[in-house]
Structure 1
């Protein structure tokens, strides 16, 4: 099965990866029944009072996969998945992997702008959404997006009140009254009609540098490599109880090693609907969680709450922290306060993942982001001219390997910028390597704003604000923040006689369907923006202005 916008690995390299066993030659969905037969009645997924065994997971996933096939979805189709951390997310993902339909992992905060643009780009034939989530009607949103897509797209809903014209996902995956014969028939049919290891397994979203996020195509071959090696780097096994607190559509809690890594290792996945301290601590205590992953801003809140709530965290062995830069003293305080081993992670949905080892010294655990999870991952540090820097020097990290795709999906012009001719991915991150080969992240060169681990494209925000009739010019830059690391600050020059408040800009962007976490939280009005020699807004000068006048007064 081929996708026109997919960039494959060179054939000789793909053959070498398979011959070395780096790519296992399996599809992700092919493991479901192997797990069901060897682990059977062991609990695989916990969501509140719902507990699914490994056999439950296989049976329900197959029922849903066949049900979706009956509605016309087939191998090579794409679906937008916008589900929160519920047991249905796991079953839907497993079903799509079995059928060979590619889930495009969206996030619950995404709205019309992101969903429509991504849906058009990947040719989505359906959307899978909750009925409502945190007071927002995702079902209505999905109907709007489906109507805006070029081809027919069904709305698949996980919820108690499914509207007319939508498909009830829970009804499709129901297995009450199924006979063993029916279960076996579905299994045989899917085994025969499923995807190939080289097929695209999942579409992930990048942080993006301009416009909406770029789409990353991960094959069964390379994503299994990612899952297996990350699970090994984190010492996952049958006794692992992994708590997913970040949105499961993110690569970090999904597969690095995340919930898929925990299932592959034979452990148990516990899903939390919120990263707030109270439900997280309650889940750790109730399920005896051994590992979880979060961004620094979330962990800092856990630390503050632990002093007053005094939770029982004695089962917690490993805390994976990544997504934004972490000072060594803060890393050490996290480990001491939560009384567990801290594993720092530096990774990206584009492929490369580095972890500090579980048994690392304090110097390594608190002061580095560790080595790549596989010796097959290649790292190269270069200066602004693309020349390799001396050992120990800082520069932009380039990477390639069996888990790093050779291009974004369907954007050849962008790929010529983001990838070298010989396959190196330009991460945009400033990194130095220790003599032992451990990465130390020092900053970045990409035009991104990192709000608590959420990568926000400055260009995307600028484009939407620039379309407002009152705005003459705009530039979005990161404003330092003690909790989130960075927040979105926009410098705006208005047309003569015009003005907008921060609240008005926020409302207008929300109405245009921009996700809430991307909405600017700081507005600075200038009569003239500084410019570079080529006429672009000089963001270096704007960042310096923020530093010189910090904290800047917020605009009314």
Structure 2
């Protein structure tokens, strides 16, 4: 089967990717099946639910047969709110096996995000974690999906023990596969949409990014090679399933390298440290927030990280990374990327120390990038083998975001030095970066100004030692009212805004500084907050 052409990249550029071996025109399942054939007893997952390569690959092919029996195939979408682990990998590989499209969601997704994705994709199958269904605000979801998503044909559980009320009514992945022989690994269209990653919406998945399997395999291969992953490595998976970190870099990449994976379904730094020591973790992918938590460990817990040879990390400060290297003795490899052009820059191991600690990576093979205007810093434009196919059902937005010759307008302000190393500087638009999550303050303001006790409001990001930034709601209250933080977050919860996007402080003021054009003067607001709260203590 000839792969579909990329709709946004020039044909001659696509041909060059194949000539250079950057697009391999092979699927995750084909790579996985070969690993399982040559090293069947090698551990793929370690921890509480250990599984070998052969065990997970066989389960993936059985689940593929289950899906085929229900008429699921190329062009059909499987929506999957899951936690990382062997069952999630089996679901991803099963979709790859039959050429279906996978739309993963993290376990912290809201019910409205799931329903929005089902409506946008017309999905035939939902595979949902019992850990998700067990959450209080998801109660009744399984029963309601039949009427809320009329196109849905099949609902399957993973982590079924965490949702005992549903386990008796719904099949889990293992029971769904019972009685099925493993499906043949098909030759699928590796240029077609395979991965749908939701991004950019504080109040829901307002943008769904489409990626081909060629892009995902390329990004994972480049990451594995740049980080030196091998069958002797044990990779800690902390990234949420549904994001590129948890669906490509700690799922695809270890399989491509033949490495093992320790899934961390919940980040708690002391508990995770003990697990790292117990299972001999050698490599991690983390954020600046994880690094902050690690620096809070007591001295007697630092040796628990002695097996770790290095880690890749994004969205953290130079000083924090340098402090972690001094304390733990491993090497940090900074990385940079976007959902629309996934993880396309990682710091080489042999980069000089002053560069390694001050830049955010060197682009992967085949990536072309530049700063608009040619100055020291400006909006970053990039194209390469991991460029998205576009936004799902948003050709208008795709055309606005990608130039006619295939360059993505990232909205990031970046500097590029003479050697090609990139450094993230900021955003063109007003975005709050909280622990690796982008929060659009305008979306929050449009909702919060509707509160009856609010006359005017702006939401700004202020520095936070652990998260990088923290969202603060600065409110002009209605006369005689004194709204609280709980009042505001309660309104956001009613609109299904994820908790990680909620403001964490509230400050009441008599009036908000305005520009000469009558808009909120956010630099002046931030200066006001610095004067009111120099220690960064949480108010409200």
Normalising by structure 2, we get a TM-score of 0.90
Aligned pairs for 1:395-434 (under 5 A) are 395-405=378-388, 407-434=390-417
Aligned pairs for 1:394-473 (under 5 A) are 394-405=377-388, 407-473=390-456
Say yes or no: does 1:377 pair with 2:367. yes
Instruction: Report the counterpart of residue 140 of structure 2 in structure 1.
Output: 140
Q: Take 1:139 and 1:59, find their aligned partners in 2: how far apart are those partners?
A: 33
Helix, strand or coil for the counterpart of 1:311?
helix
Q: Take 2:353 and 2:246, find their aligned partners in 1: how far apart are those partners?
A: 24
1:371 Cα deviation after fit: 0.7
**Which sits farther off after the overlay, 518-527 or 482-491?**
518-527
Q: Does structure 1 retain, via aligned residues, the 8 Å contact 2:471–2:505? A: yes
Aligned pairs for 1:85-484 (under 5 A) are 85-133=84-132, 136-137=135-136, 138=138, 140-144=140-144, 147-149=147-149, 151-152=151-152, 154-158=154-158, 159-160=160-161, 161=164, 162=166, 166-174=170-178, 182-183=181-182, 186-187=183-184, 190-191=185-186, 195-208=188-201, 212-255=205-248, 257-322=249-314, 324-327=315-318, 329-351=319-341, 352-374=343-365, 376-382=366-372, 387-389=373-375, 393-405=376-388, 407-484=390-467
Instruction: Report the counterpart of residue 34 of structure 2 in structure 1.
Output: 34
Instruction: Report the counterpart of residue 44 of structure 1 in structure 2.
Output: 44
Q: Does structure 1 retain, via aligned residues, the 8 Å contact 2:302–2:328? A: no
RMSD over aligned Cα, in angstroms?
2.8
Instruction: Report the counterpart of residue 21 of structure 2 in structure 1.
Output: 21
1:394 Cα deviation after fit: 1.4
Q: Take 1:411 and 1:495, find their aligned partners in 2: how far apart are those partners?
A: 39
Helix, strand or coil for the counterpart of 1:16?
helix
Q: Take 2:82 and 2:470, find their aligned partners in 1: how far apart are those partners?
A: 25
Q: Does structure 1 retain, via aligned residues, the 8 Å contact 2:313–2:335? A: yes
Deviation string 1:332-362 (CA, Å, 9 cap, x unpaired) is: 1111212111111112222152111123222
Q: 1:534 to 1:413 in 2, by over 3 A?
A: farther
Q: 1:408 to 1:134 in 2, by over 3 A?
A: closer
Q: Take 1:540 and 1:123, find their aligned partners in 2: how far apart are those partners?
A: 43
1:62 Cα deviation after fit: 0.8
Q: Take 1:371 and 1:422, find their aligned partners in 2: how far apart are those partners?
A: 22
Q: How many residues of Structure 1 are paired with residues of Structure 2 in the alignment?
A: 531
Q: Take 1:444 and 1:372, find their aligned partners in 2: how far apart are those partners?
A: 19
Q: Take 1:448 and 1:268, find their aligned partners in 2: how far apart are those partners?
A: 36
Deviation string 1:93-146 (CA, Å, 9 cap, x unpaired) is: 111221222221211111133223333223333332222359615463354466
Deviation string 1:430-465 (CA, Å, 9 cap, x unpaired) is: 221222111122222233221111222323323432
Q: Does structure 1 retain, via aligned residues, the 8 Å contact 2:336–2:346? A: yes
Helix, strand or coil for the counterpart of 1:367?
coil
Q: Take 2:443 and 2:393, find their aligned partners in 1: how far apart are those partners?
A: 18
Q: Which runs of no fewer than 5 residues in structure 1 stay unpaired?
A: none
Deviation string 1:261-310 (CA, Å, 9 cap, x unpaired) is: 01111111111122212232222222211100111111221222152424
**Which sits farther off after the overlay, 140-149 or 67-76?**
140-149
Deviation string 1:185-208 (CA, Å, 9 cap, x unpaired) is: x22xx42xx631111121112235
Q: Take 1:165 and 1:538, find their aligned partners in 2: how far apart are those partners?
A: 55
**Which sits farther off after the overlay, 461-470 or 450-459?**
461-470
1:533 Cα deviation after fit: 5.8
Say yes or no: does 1:487 pair with 2:470. yes
Q: Does structure 2 retain, via aligned residues, the 8 Å contact 1:127–1:155? A: yes
Aligned pairs for 1:527-542 (under 5 A) are 527-532=510-515, 536-542=519-525
Q: Does structure 2 retain, via aligned residues, the 8 Å contact 1:111–1:141? A: no
1:555 Cα deviation after fit: 5.7
Q: Take 2:456 and 2:204, find their aligned partners in 1: how far apart are those partners?
A: 17
Q: 1:473 to 1:15 in 2, by over 3 A?
A: farther
